[in-house]
Amino acid sequence: MTCRSVLDTLSFFAGDYQSPKKPLLTEKCGMYVCNCNGVTRNEVDEAIAAGAQGPEAVLAHHGCEPCCGRCLPEIADGIAGGGMACANRSLVAAE
């Protein structure tokens, strides 16, 4: 199956069930920060730009609250570093 056919299949199944407020995964900056709540790097940056001062405030900005807590240190690092967007950070594969 090619990438295009996968996208077509995803679009078919999303259909009426896709929320207009939440784009498909393929339309987002592909990295999730919070898997429990589905919050991406771009959404973290959006919350930081809106004035969120801590990880809980970032999640609250998107109507979420911490679940397992594994994302909180990464969000805190993003706040301290001035943002998390794909253009602001380089991703390094684990060795």
Q: Is the pLDDT of residue 95 over 70?
A: no
Give the H/E segment covering residue 29.
Answer: none
CA–CA separation, 44 and 77 (whole Å): 11
Q: With a threshold of 0.85, does the pTM exceed it?
A: no
pLDDT for res 25? 47
Protein fold of 31-95: Arc Repressor Mutant, subunit A (1.10.10)
pLDDT in tens, 23-69: 544 444 568 999 999 999 999 999 999 999 999 999 999 999 999 99
In 21-80, the DSSP E strands lie at 32-34, 39-40
- Give the start-to-end residue ranges of the domains of the chain: 1-26, 31-95
